[in-house]
Amino acid sequence: MLSGHIHKLNTLFIMFFIAWISFVPEPMQFQYKGWVYFLLVLCLIAALYKHRFSISQYFFQKCDFAFWLYLLLISVNIWFGKDKKTALNFYKDFSTAAILVYFLIKNGIDARNIKKVLYFLCICAGVVSIFGIMEMFMKVNIIYEKYVNNFFYQRFLGERMMSTLMHPNILGAYLISTAPLAYYFYKSKDSPRIKYFNLVIFALIICAIFLTFSRGTYLAVLFMLSVWFWVKRKKKWLVAIWLIALLLSFISQLSVLGDNINYRFGLKNLWDYLKYGHRTINYFVSWNMFKTHPFVGIGLSHYRMLFDHYVNFQLDYEVMIPDSIYLMHLAETGLIGIIGLVVLLLYLLKNALVTYKKIVGDNKELLFAILMSFVALLINMATFDGLLWKTTFYLFWVLLSILNVTEKMTLEKYAE
């Protein structure tokens, strides 16, 4: 009986955690992270009680090998970084959050509750989208006007949607990770009333994705749809989306469109950005960092600290970042760290694909939607520093953990 109550409480806390990363802006997440970690630890202890405090069963199952290997490998450069204290502090915060979120979700929910948690995530995304759409049309965001200082607020207000997530790129990454799930729930076999409600959520998310005007998010949408139609063997649709993308690229060049669209997607502006923008500079800086420290990297949280050593001019602090989690790993953790990340992702995706081939019916479609959400986030994270923002960092581990849980769908009592 007590074990059942603990399981329900853990599921409720996971939903609270999803609401926290959806609605609470970055500065407040950072300010109160200690309390959230404390609650995560309490839930973890309760879950351990359910497992009769079997440490090996809870933390060291076969599927956890790649996770621990990743954390071990990125810890290596702590001893080689210029400022070992900075690297150690970053690693402690990074690994603590990863361990708490990963193991609580992986062991705290089962196949029966996956849908509940993911459906709640979609509802949260719908609410975030509504708030963002109001922000765009009313040209005001009450959160940043009165309660939370947002460095990007005046820059993007009325031009690109921020909603509760501070920055359009972060919002775009969050929304693109929920869109496949929202589509799955819309297509699932529910009553007409629920189906219409799910359609509204999906439409709101798609509308909000467009209003972020995030090029990385648009690219992730294009590649996600390409993977989707390729797997579903709908080659006509695959050709159609690329033709539509080319048509939209042509339309975006027209001067009659708003300055925001033309500035973000006009060919001349894109070309100028590629030649002179900070991203191109940072790509070369990241490569030079890797060349000088190929095996262990320059050190965790050292990118901005050592940036001036690799360029002969000054950039704003805000843009002294590679805008890619993969380049960040390459520069700060070297080959050892990037290998750890690749092994983690490949191991997880391989297991998910093996599970996908085994299960049937609605569970198969659900797993496919989860995979698409995670793949979309991975593609999007190639275009911004996603693991340095609390929401996308937590979301990464939430989706990764849930993919591990989906292996339980192969059990006969969950198969259809």
In a domain, 186, yes or no: yes
Confidence label for 415 from pLDDT (cuts 50, 70 and 90): very low
184 CB-near residues (< 8 Å, 6+ apart): 365, 366, 368, 369
Residue-wise DSSP of 69-123? HHHHHHHGGGGTSSSHHHHHHHHHHHHHHHHHHHHHHHHH--HHHHHHHHHHHHH
In a domain, 248, yes or no: no
In a domain, 405, yes or no: yes
By the 10 Å C-beta count (0-12 exposed, 13-18 middle, 19+ buried), 183 is classed as buried
Which is it for the CA torsion 215, 310, 77, 29, positive or negative?
Answer: negative
| CB distance 176 to 380 below 8 Å | yes
Is the pTM for the entire model greater than 0.95?
no
E strand or H helix at 33? helix 33-50
Confidence label for 181 from pLDDT (cuts 50, 70 and 90): very high
Total structural domains within the chain: 1
Nearest to 276 by CA among 315, 250, 323, 330: 315
| CB distance 200 to 208 below 8 Å | no
**Alpha carbon distance 243, 321 (integer Å):** 33
- The pLDDT tens digits for 144-162 are 998 899 888 888 888 889 9
What would the two tokens of residue 202 be?
């999906």
**Alpha carbon distance 363, 370 (integer Å):** 11
Instruction: Tell me the three state secondary structure of residue 6.
Output: helix
- The pLDDT tens digits for 385-410 are 888 899 999 999 999 999 887 766 65
In a domain, 257, yes or no: no
Confidence label for 257 from pLDDT (cuts 50, 70 and 90): very low
In a domain, 254, yes or no: no
In a domain, 252, yes or no: no
Confidence label for 8 from pLDDT (cuts 50, 70 and 90): confident
- Look at the block and give the residue holding tokens 């351990």: 48
Q: Check residue 129 and give its pLDDT.
A: 97
Q: 48 versus 2: which is more confidently predicted?
A: 48
User: How crowded is residue 255: how many other Cβ atoms within 10 Å of its Cβ?
Assistant: 7
In a domain, 263, yes or no: no
The residue segments making up the domain with residue 81 are 2-233+277-410
Residue-wise DSSP of 113-156? HHHHHHHHHHHHHHHHHHHHHHHHHHT--HIIIII---TTHHHH
In a domain, 146, yes or no: yes
Mean pLDDT of 18-26: 94
- The pLDDT tens digits for 101-119 are 998 888 877 767 888 899 9
